[in-house]
Amino acid sequence: MYANYAIVQTNGYYRPGNSSSYLNQYHFIELPVLLKVRLNRSVRMPLTAQGGLALSELISSNALQYNQGAGVYYKDNSLFSKTQCNLSVGLMLGLSGRSVMYQIGPEFQYGLTSLLKNSGAEKEHFLSAAIKVVFIPSKKH
């Protein structure tokens, strides 16, 4: 009978269990390039569809990795692919104000690149859904 052992070099580790909860956080800076198409002719409530790509850079994370052989969670940000490319689609409804145009609507993003550098056969990609709010100052006449 052979035991399954794995070597994990880390400054700290966490054992799985129900004693506490942990929330992984990822902080990115992003440069989106979007194409917007107006779907109606309304000046007061314009409806636009948008889609495009966004280039993101991971600037920090507290995410834990799981080592199946050792049965522990640990932090190692060197495992992440820092640069990500995301596909983005959304639908925005505009609302006119006196000095500002508001746009609000759902936005979905899918990571085209894998989150981890060497994830083997199982690729991990970001998938996010959000309500996007945009404020656009109106031009003074």
- pLDDT per residue of the chain (141 residues) written in tens, 0 to 9: 444 444 445 555 566 666 677 888 999 999 999 999 999 999 889 999 999 999 999 999 999 888 888 888 888 889 899 999 999 999 999 998 888 889 999 999 999 999 888 766 567 888 999 999 999 887 754
Query: What is the predicted pLDDT for the residue at 127?
Result: 92
Question: Is there a contact between 131 and 104 (Cβ–Cβ < 8 Å)?
Answer: yes
Would you call 138 exposed, middle or buried from its count of C-beta atoms within 10 A (0-12, 13-18, 19+)? exposed
Query: What is the predicted pLDDT for the residue at 121?
Result: 57
Residue 50 carries which side chain, given as an amino acid letter?
A: Q
**Other CB atoms within 10 A of residue 94 CB:** 20
